Structure 1
Amino acid sequence: QSNNGAYTPCVLQSVSLQSPVGELQVSGCEKGVHTITITVETAESDLSCHPAELKPELQHCVKWLQSYFRSAESVSSLRLPVLHHQLLQEDSFTACVLRTLQTRVPVGQTVSYKQLAEMVGNPKAIRAVGGVMRRNPVPLIVPCHRVVCSSGASGRYMGGRGDHIKQWLLFHERQEH
């Protein structure tokens, strides 16, 4: 919002980052990160990035992601990147589920869709929680890969195209615990 109350749209920047799970496209504005998109292609283990004059929150997000891929546990001591996606600004079921997952399920732990529904006070909303995971605009920072089936199966990731990525992320986090 500007001083006269009119809505001022965000000026977005984006940066590409190579990671062990593929190319990450991070976009955001001066207020925070809007989206992280994982491109499912042959992954390289290079964590290089070329942040040409990035806004401070995007710079912080890139550093956070680089730290995560070097050592998942290392991000436990880092400030989470500020998120500025509209889904997370609202006071909605979706925002509540994403915030709860981000703040209450630490590195190396998993939670079932059912448990997450219970954590947000709506134990019958198991399918709705799955829908929220599918629409998560900021994977890795909001760790939807840590949500698994009650049976213990890892479940789908990125509509099934990224199931191997979910397995890699869970293994990456567990090997340090």
Structure 2
Amino acid sequence: MDSHGQDEQRVVWTLVDTGIGPLLLAATRDGLVTVAFHATDAVRDETLKQLAARLGGEPVEAPGSPLLTEATRQIEAYFAGERHDFSLPLDWSLISGFNRQVLRELASGVPYGTVVGYGDLAKRVGQPGAAQAVGAAMGANPLPVVVPCHRVVESDGGIGGFAGGLETKRKLLALEGVLPEPLF
């Protein structure tokens, strides 16, 4: 407990403008808990409603919180091409089981500027043949960009799906030098 008497379920959030549009960042006492793409008013409101339902309590806008300030700084540096990885505490409470296992492996084992196939990632967590389940885990990732689900592609060279949209995935892969910069 800190001097404000906040409980551990308190969720703070802020918006950050990026090269792929506004991102909503939300954090708990344990770490960054959500990154939401295309954070228009409607997306922001829906994301905050879901966080309140899952974690309890109304999320509070707090761009000055130390964790969100640092997360914003690291995300801005990433989009400026000055940072290749994130060193932020992460709150994994919105994801469990196989999905959490896959996302943790992705976060630690697939560095900037590289990609991995869905099937290869399934093998890495000891579940060969679970490529579709890996795809589902990527779609459920509550921490995109920071936990780089954009780096998971099809083994035949296809880009695969992406919860943030394929244009966003292409831009992230171009930023990391994996794909050429889109022409338009």
Aligned twin of 2:84: 75
Deviations 1:28-56 (A, max 9, x none): 12221110001177xxxxxxxx96431x2
Question: Contact between 1:117 and 1:124, CA under 8 Å: does it hold in 2?
Answer: yes
Deviations 1:93-117 (A, max 9, x none): 1111000000000000000000000
Aligned twin of 1:10: 9
Match of 2:119 among 101, 104, 114: 114
What TM-score do the two structures reach when normalised by structure 2?
Answer: 0.76
Identity among equivalent positions (%) equals 31
- Does structure 1 residue 53 correspond to structure 2 residue 64? yes
Compute the displacement of 1:136 (Å): 0.1
Compute the displacement of 1:175 (Å): 6.7
In structure 1, C-alpha distance between the alignment counterparts of 2:87 and 2:114, rounded to whole Å = 17
Match of 1:129 among 130, 134, 149: 134
What is the root-mean-square deviation of aligned Cα atoms in Å?
2.3
Deviations 1:125-160 (A, max 9, x none): 1111000000000000110000000111111111xx
Aligned length, in residue pairs: 154
SS of 1:85's equivalent in the other structure is: coil
In structure 1, C-alpha distance between the alignment counterparts of 2:89 and 2:39, rounded to whole Å = 25
Matches within 5 A, 1:91-102: 92-102=97-107
Query: Structure 2 vs 1, CA of residues 175 and 157 (structure 1 numbering), >3 Å: closer, same or farther?
Result: closer
Structure 1: give runs of 5+ residues left out of the alignment.
Answer: 3-7, 42-49
Structure 1 segments (4+ residues) deviating >4 Å: none
- Does structure 1 residue 38 correspond to structure 2 residue 49? no
- Does structure 1 residue 145 correspond to structure 2 residue 142? no
Compute the displacement of 1:60 (Å): 1.7
> In structure 1, what residue type is equivalent to 2:109?
R
